[in-house]
Amino acid sequence: MTFEHVTVLQKEAVDLLNVKEDGIYVDATLGGGGHTGVILSRLTTGTLYSFDQDETAISFNKEQYKDEIAAGKLVLIFNNFRTLKESLAERGVDHVDGVLYDLGVSSVQFDQGDRGFSYNHDAPLDMRMDQRQELTAKTIVNDWPFGDLVRVLTRYGEDRFGKAIARKIEQHREKAPIETTFDLVEVIKEAIPAPARRHGGHPAKRSFQALRVAVNDELGALEDSLGQALELLDVGGRISAISFQSQEDRLIKQMFKEKTAEPELPRGLPVMPDEMAPDYKLLTRKAIKPSEKEQEENHRSASAQLRGIERIRLS
C-alpha cells in the first residue's frame, strides 16, 4: 500500500510540544504518520497514542511502525479523535504530556479519487473520513432540505453563492439524483455567474469543503476533542494544533483564549491571587505559518496555521 502525504509544519508542530523522552503523547490525526514518526524519534521510555478514523491510515501505519507497536512504544487507535478521553481511559491513561492536531483532509484522501473528496476526480459523492458511518455527501446533497443546504454551504464554505447553489441543487435533484462529484461540479458551475467563476480558484472548492465538514462534523468533533485534550494535560503539557481553514483556526484561537484569559481584578487589588490566575498560557501569540520554501514545495501548506498552549497549573 502506498500512502504519499507531505506532512505540513512537521518539525515546528512537534517542537512546540517540547517532547519529554519518557512522556505520554497523543497524535490525534495520524494520517500518513509524519508527525507520529518525529514524536517517536524523541521518545525513549515514553508512549505515543495515535488516532485516526480512516482505516487506510491505520492499516498503513500498522506496517510502517510495526516495530514500535510491538515494543509498546506506539498504540494505534482506530477512532474519531472526539473519543479522546474515553479511548485513552480504556487503555489506562488519564493524563498526557502533549496532544498534536493536524486537521483537515490528508493528501491521500484527496488523491484517492474514489473517496469523493476532490472535484478533480469523478467519483460517487462520499467524503466520509470514517467509512463505517452512514452519512455521505450524496445524502446531504439529495435529501437535506433547502434551508439546511444553505446553512452548510454558507457557514462551512463561507460561499457568497451558497443560496444560489442550494437552489440549483434543489432544481436538479427534483429531476434526477446528483450521484457523482462531476455531477455536482456542473450544478455548482451553473449556479455561479460566469464572471465570478473566472476568479478565486475552482468554483466548486468552497462547496466541496463545506460538504466535507458537514459529512464528518469536523468542527463539532474538533470542539469536543480539544476540550478533552485541555482537561487531560498534565502540568507542563502542551497542545500543538495545525489548521487549514479559517473556521478551525477561529475555534482553536477562541478556546485557547478562553483558557488563558486573566480575570478582571477588583479595584484596589494590586496582585492577582493564585486561585484567580489562569491554568494555561499561550505558546503562540500569532499563528506560526509555513516558510516560503515549504509553501513553494507543497502548495497545500499555504493556508496552514499552527497554534500552541501549555498547562501551567492545576486548579
Give the strand pairing for 305-311 and 280-282.
antiparallel
Please check if 51 is assigned to a binding site. Answer: no
Please check if 102 is assigned to a binding site. Answer: yes
Copy the grid coordinates of residue 20.
Answer: 519529554
Please check if 172 is assigned to a binding site. Answer: no
> What φ, ψ does residue 299 adopt, rounded to 5°?
-60, -25
> What φ, ψ does residue 302 adopt, rounded to 5°?
-60, -35
Please check if 236 is assigned to a binding site. Answer: no
Please check if 109 is assigned to a binding site. Answer: yes
Question: In what order do the strands lie in the sheet containing 305-311?
Answer: 74-78, 47-52, 24-27, 96-102, 233-243, 305-311, 280-282
Cα(292)–Cα(199) distance, integer angstroms:
23
Torsion of CA 287, 288, 293, 296, to 10 degrees: -30
Please check if 33 is assigned to a binding site. Answer: yes
Output the DSSP codes for 202-229.
-TTHHHHHHHHHHHHTHHHHHHHHHHHH
Cα(221)–Cα(223) distance, integer angstroms:
6
Give the strand pairing for 233-243 and 74-78.
unpaired
Please check if 94 is assigned to a binding site. Answer: no
Binding residues for S-adenosyl-L-methionine: 33-35, 52, 81, 102, 109
Binding residues: 33-35, 52, 81, 102, 109
